[in-house]
Structure 1
């Protein structure tokens, strides 16, 4: 019995020696600040990386289409796992009945943890580092991620529901884009005999033009083409719409040339925001259209 207790006490001592001393409140705050600053800097540096070539830029736009995170966190994910498709923290994966592969390295992002009051009386948000894991790091043979596939009819319905601009079909179209927004006429013109894919591609792009024209006073189709094409590309990727014309990405280095990193990051956020505004319009239009159909069926059945 004595030998058993000796062994137990010896192992207990080893276990206690392995435990790291608990950090004081000040030391913990210092450690968190260091991690935050490191992540902020990583995101800023990454903003320069993603606009350094057409390939990296398109990869970043694809990531924005797949994941719904802030621009800072999307840049952090890009720096650590640019192919990420579905992210959850360890607890949420376990709660869903899945476990992380042994040795998998977490992806660090910044998570809001509350507010604080500045000396001038205004409020700011506190952030701490948080680890996420991609679906590719989960130990399972099940298919947990499927690429989006939007029904074309639903998306056209969502885009054009209570449209803020007029829509007009033209039987003859003299060159140019087969779907085209005119800011003077406040109208989207579209050619006859377009395929469903051509039509939805064009409408997605042109409603980004409409939204830009609404938000910015200096709208100019030629000058704003790169910005708007970028937003339209994200939009199409998000809903699973084929988008074969990626020539706009060739302008990326020229467009961002001379910008400071913080300004590049801000512009990337603006591009994402424009896409989100049009996306909200689509989702809202689809929902309201479906509600109207349900109401009509209920009225008929009475």
Structure 2
């Protein structure tokens, strides 16, 4: 109402200059700001689509897990974005990251960036809670750079080295036993002993798969007070699979497709992202312990 009264009291011819002045004061956005906003909206649209696919029961969990296993330092959301745009990506970096290694982005590839979301400034909402702004970032995989013709190292790990790294600094002891309290399994977490019990006589890959599953359950329960193996055990299954994928342990015995429908009917904006974050955090922590034990650098780990 106040705005209407003011307009009536002033001559119409004076209103135009005020409007022009207001328009002049409004800062004009730069081309890169318009581009970043467009990329950010497209990234969120991609995530919404994938989240809804899982809530409808026809997502592709293996595609996500395979990508996340190669990018443990990237968030679950960014792993999805990388996988959706460049499924075969092995090692991505922005302009500065590649330039610091003496590598350039190919001119024809600059039009085809992989868009991920990077955290910006935090802000406080009206209710007092803290929010997080994100902005779009352009990254590029090796084939999009001048390093595309360089031979990429093929990394393989000794079985004993992998097992040693897996149990190194474990949150609970690992003990070899003749028989397990639960039949049909190669390893089990015993709450009374607060230890992972491993059946003797298995080969190294089987031990890695069994122990990684139990350690994933332990890690998830430590990260989340309400964790239940009965209802959330699929998360540990996924973490174990990612660890095997990352370190070249055969995954033929995993049936990841059964996880595609786990989130059917669940909230695509809450339940699915939260579960992915749980899985990623557990995977990142176990992988971090293994990498430190094996003396891997961050760059070295990114190459796998």
Q: 1:48 to 1:183 in 2, by over 3 A?
A: farther
- Paired residues for 1:101-140 under 5 Å: 101-104=106-109, 105-119=112-126, 123-139=130-146, 140=148
- Counterpart check, 1:212 vs 2:220: yes
Residue from 60, 64, 70 that aligns with 1:60: 64
Structure 2 segments unaligned to the other structure (5+ residues) = 1-25, 296-304
TM-score by length of 1: 0.74
- Counterpart check, 1:97 vs 2:105: no
Q: 1:188 to 1:141 in 2, by over 3 A?
A: same
Aligned to 1:78: 83
Any conservation in 2 of the 1:150–1:241 contact (CA below 8 Å)?
Answer: no
CA distance in 2, matches of 1:118, 1:213: 31
Q: Which moved more, 1:265-274 or 1:27-36?
A: 27-36
- Counterpart check, 1:158 vs 2:175: no
CA distance in 2, matches of 1:286, 1:158: 6
- Counterpart check, 1:39 vs 2:28: no
Q: 1:286 to 1:235 in 2, by over 3 A?
A: same
CA distance in 2, matches of 1:155, 1:254: 32
- Counterpart check, 1:168 vs 2:175: yes
Deviating 4+ runs (over 6 angstroms) = none
CA distance in 1, matches of 2:219, 2:211: 12
Q: Which has the higher contact order (CA 8 A, sep 6+)?
A: 2
Aligned to 2:288: 280
Shift of residue 284 of structure 1?
Answer: 4.9
Structure 1 segments unaligned to the other structure (5+ residues) = 1-23, 288-302
Deviations 1:56-94 (A, max 9, x none): 311210100101211222222122112111111234334
Q: Which moved more, 1:210-219 or 1:118-127?
A: 118-127
CA distance in 2, matches of 1:218, 1:115: 28
Count of matched residue pairs: 261
Aligned to 1:235: 243
TM-score by length of 2: 0.73
Residue from 160, 180, 195 that aligns with 1:187: 195
